[in-house]
Amino acid sequence: SAMPEQYSRAVDWLSRYGYLPPPDPRTSKLQTKEGIEKAIRVMQRFGGVRETGVLDGETLKLMSTPRCSLPDIVGGEDMLKKRRRRRR
């Protein structure tokens, strides 16, 4: 099972690639356990590994695989929108 540090890094990874909504510094909102499990499942399905909902070895290995830095799930937080907000 994942160590706390790995877990924290994984949540950051999930946010960066669009599987979790980005943290909101104004509200310090916590991600729910169910939300994180669901995000891990989506990530596992997208990456073609066994869908367990937990940070198993296979999932952690995939998260450390070199990759493109665009998000996999492009929602309201895609790069262009972020850029426009940053400019404003």
Partner 1 sequence: YALSGLKWHKSDLTWSVHSYPTPSRSPGLPSTMVDSILTHAFKAWSDAAPLTFHQQPGGGGSASSGGDIRVSFNSLLHDDGYPFDGLGGTLAHAFFPGRDDVSGDTHFDDHERWSYGGESSGTTDLFTVAVHEFGHALGLSHSSSDPSIMRPYYQGPVGDILHYQLALDDRLAIQQLYGIKGGQQPGGVDPNLPRLPSPPPTKPTKPSDPSVHDRCHGGFDAVANIRGEVFFFQGAHFWRTTRDGSLVSLNPAQIQNFWMGFPPGTNKIDAVYERKSDSSIIFFVGSQYWVFKDTVAMSGYPRPLSEWGMKRKSGALVDRVDAAFIWAHNGKTYLFSQGEFWRFDESRKGQRGTPQPEPGYPRDNSLWTGVPSRMDDIISWGEGDAHFFKDNHYWVLKSGGMNQDSVEPKSIGVDWLRCPVPPSTSAPANPDGPRRCRCDLTD
Footprint of partner 1 (CB under 8 A)? 17, 45-48, 50-52, 62, 65-72, 74, 78-80, 82-83, 86
- The CA–CA distances, whole Å, from 75 to 10, 15, 23, 44 equal 20, 12, 15, 18
In this complex, which beta carbon is closest to partner 1, that of residue 29 or of residue 51? 51
The alpha-helical segments, DSSP class H, found in 1-63 are 4-16, 33-47, 57-63
- CA 58 to chain CA centroid, nearest Å: 16
For partner 1, the closer CB: 28 or 35: 35
Which is nearer to partner 1, 28 or 66 (by Cβ)?
66
Q: Minimum Å distance from CB 79 to partner 1?
A: 6
